[in-house]
Structure 1
Amino acid sequence: MKRLFPSTINHRPLTRLRRRHLGYAALGYVSLVIAGAFLGAEIVLRSKTRWVKGDFVPVGRRGNKLYLPASPETLSKGPLGIVPLLPNKGHLVVGPHRMVGTVVERPILQERGALPHGALAWVSTYLYNGTPAQLGAEYEDVLVPTEVGEMPAWHVPPHQAERDALIIVVHGHGGQRAQALRMLPAMIRTGCGSLFVTFRNAHGAPKVGKGYLTLGDTEAEDVNAAVLWARENGYRRVILYGFSMGGNIVLSVLRPRFEPSPLPIAGVMLDSPALEWRDTIRWQAQRFGLPGFLARRVGRFTQRIVTRRSGQDFDEVDQLAAAPRFKVPLLLWHGTRDRTIPLAQAQALAAARPDLVEFHRVEGAKHIRTWNISPKEYDGQLEAFVARVLGREG
């Protein structure tokens, strides 16, 4: 009788099945890498929106208290901005939250216009979604001439007639000028003018070529043009203030190719800056749930696609590598809950240039929400830095 050994039973079909499963797994892996990379490249190159981030919710009101549905935005730390959509226009700033049953209660701190009970409203940690007029500030719409067109900007002149220093405020990737209006009162108190600028291929600005962003490289030309605008409008020096990708842009203005600057740059302020894009792209891949080994591959492929499409030079916008050549004082904020730009980048810059960098690690702060955790502390740090770099201390 012929003996059958278990090891030989269905050996070939099992081998074929394993190979088939391995093939499917390999195909799925490659497909995931390719799909993730193309999606990532599209976001890196083009992301922009006309809307300031926030929620649209019905608002209850009882006296000086507002009642909001619970959501990540309405439960965020620090103040919120409220802009009623219907039936009346206005603007409110509300204070810290507490839960009352299943709704969020917040006290009204500031109010312009009217917000009746039951109104539908925009609610945001950015506080403002309009122009400096939402804060009652006098300003003018201006155009900054550049080689690729005129860039819209808001100019808030200083209270005094003399124009000494101008703070040039630069928003980030997919951002808007209104996101930095939270800091406008502190900037006004410094005695400086301020200029909230846009740059090519951002919302409201001229489109160049296919509309691709260059992550701080060519956008720096538009901010350098804003420095020239400041000189032509009577200012004697500038401070650059960048948020997220805007931080990379203002540091790019310090490159040798922009020397000599149209005006002296007294200092640079950075809020949650994107300092090294290759690391940021890998970080973003992991943020969306990809394991480390897969995120690295998606990140590398994304970089290749971005470079192939736009000619992006990632070395050119690597501000950590450029740190040794910085010459001006830097004020830096970054939050420990930032899921967009790794906190480690800010820590690396602070460690590389302790002689220049004043670093504030903000516990519990999300991306460009460092102000919200403690507005008075943030404003005080901003005002003290400006006074120091302008020689106005004491």
Structure 2
Amino acid sequence: MACGPEGDFARSCVPSITTSGHRVTLLTDDGVRIEAAHTPRIPGPEGPYAPSRAPFPAPSADLAVVLAHGFSGSLERPALRRTAAALSQHADVITFSFRGHGGSGGRSTVGDREIHDLTAAVRWARSLGHRTIATVGFSMGGSVVLRQAALHGRRAAVAGPGEHGERTDAWPDAVVAVSAPARWYYRGTAPMRRLHWVVTRPTGRLVSRLGLRTRIHPEEWAAIPLSPTEAVPLIAPTPLLLVHGDRDPYFPVDHPRMLWAAADPATAELWLEPGFGHAENAAGPELLDRIGRWIARRARRTD
């Protein structure tokens, strides 16, 4: 991929070679630089292609999965790397760090403007030649993939620019939201009350920057974004999978049930996982493998 003027997305990257594929810096629609990485699919004994030694993968029509981490995560965090490795058994994987996280620029808006970061990652995946793309988000990332699919999905592509004038050329072909909230400003659990203190207080934001390596924007949302529950009915006909644990310490099971009630039952599924905790940190190999298999089965139906 060539690099050039920032106005052209296909050229707005700075490549960096890594042993697991390659890394780039993406430029979002609102001008934030986001670090991203590509992990090639790990072929099994009967895999369709061998590992590429080239710094950039050849264009491919195969499936790609774009991972959206939870708050305080990043593409370098062990949990996300483990998740990417598990899902790379099923597809090429794109990871990135949300704004304010890891090596990305900007400051976190805790789920609002992060939609631009995910959209940049989806467009990069398409620029690599992938015709079928699934977005998988965890916790905060789960809310982002739901809203991004609602505003950039196939329904939005037919309708034209979204309510805020978003381009609609970054649609996902399948969406998976793991441990996602159903509504904003939830404070019903102790972990969420602590998170609100971190986000809203100057001392909390200092703790986040120093302890969590997450830089939070000090200003409140200028306008309340579309809530996850409001976004879910707009995702159909794109296949949607909601995954939630009955031991989630942040969001109890009424959250996934609210999302499921708002979804189109013809295109959505809900998995309530016994004993599962929260997001990528708690997702084990068996659950990730099932998610990968669901993606491979459902996303290709839209190809």
TM-score (norm 2): 0.67
Distance 1:392 1:323 in 2: 18
Partner of 1:91: none
* Aligned counterparts, 1:175-254, within 5 A: 175-177=73-75, 178=77, 179-190=79-90, 192-207=91-106, 211=107, 213-254=108-149
Distance 1:174 1:317 in 2: 22
How much does 1:319 deviate? 0.9
Distance 2:67 2:230 in 1: 24
Q: Does 1:346 align with 2:256?
A: yes
Q: Does 1:335 align with 2:245?
A: yes
Distance 1:365 1:185 in 2: 20
Q: Does 1:140 align with 2:40?
A: no
Deviations 1:219-251 (A, max 9, x none): 111111112212222222321111110111112
How much does 1:262 deviate? 2.4
Distance 1:276 1:201 in 2: 22
Deviations 1:114-172 (A, max 9, x none): xxxxxxxxxxxxxxxxxxx9xxx832222222243421122012453534322110111
Kept after mapping to 2: 8 A contact 1:334/1:370: no
Partner of 1:275: 182
Change (3 A) 1:340 1:285: closer
* Identity within the alignment, %: 27
Distance 1:141 1:313 in 2: 33
How much does 1:173 deviate? 0.9
Change (3 A) 1:259 1:329: farther
Given residue 225 of structure 2, which amino acid in structure 1 is its aligned partner?
A: E
Given residue 23 of structure 2, which amino acid in structure 1 is its aligned partner?
A: D
Pick from 316, 319, 325 the counterpart of residue 228 of structure 2.
Answer: 319
Deviations 1:33-68 (A, max 9, x none): xxxxxxxxxxxxxxxxxxxxxxxxxxxxxxxxxxxx
* Aligned counterparts, 1:272-311, within 5 A: 272-279=179-186, 281-284=187-190, 310-311=219-220
Deviations 1:280-316 (A, max 9, x none): x34347877xxxxxxxxx99xx69xx9x952415741
Q: Which runs of 5+ in 2 are unaligned?
A: 1-17, 44-48, 50-57, 152-161, 206-216
Partner of 1:262: 169
Given residue 22 of structure 2, which amino acid in structure 1 is its aligned partner?
A: E
Kept after mapping to 1: 8 A contact 2:74/2:102: yes
Deviates more, 1:321-330 or 1:177-186: 177-186
Change (3 A) 1:310 1:355: farther
Distance 1:194 1:286 in 2: 30
Change (3 A) 1:173 1:282: same
Deviations 1:10-46 (A, max 9, x none): xxxxxxxxxxxxxxxxxxxxxxxxxxxxxxxxxxxxx
Distance 1:351 1:339 in 2: 22
Change (3 A) 1:258 1:237: farther
Deviates more, 1:338-347 or 1:260-269: 260-269
**Structure number with higher relative contact order (C-alpha < 8 Å, ≥ 6 residues apart):** 2
Distance 1:258 1:223 in 2: 17
Question: In structure 1, the residue corresponding to 2:301 is in which secondary structure?
Answer: coil
Superposition misfits of 4+ residues, deviation over 6 angstroms: 285-288
RMSD of the TM alignment (CA)? 3.2
Distance 1:268 1:201 in 2: 24
Query: Which is higher, the Rg of structure 1 or of structure 2?
Result: 1
Change (3 A) 1:329 1:390: same
Question: In structure 2, the residue corresponding to 1:253 is in which secondary structure?
Answer: helix
Given residue 359 of structure 1, which amino acid in structure 2 is its aligned partner?
A: L
How much does 1:259 deviate? 5.6
| Larger relative strand fraction | 1
Given residue 189 of structure 1, which amino acid in structure 2 is its aligned partner?
A: Q
Kept after mapping to 2: 8 A contact 1:186/1:379: yes
How much does 1:378 deviate? 4.2
Q: Which runs of 5+ in 1 are unaligned?
A: 1-132, 289-297
Distance 1:152 1:310 in 2: 23
Distance 1:386 1:313 in 2: 38
Distance 1:226 1:357 in 2: 24
Distance 2:143 2:221 in 1: 14
Distance 2:113 2:104 in 1: 14
Distance 1:214 1:259 in 2: 18
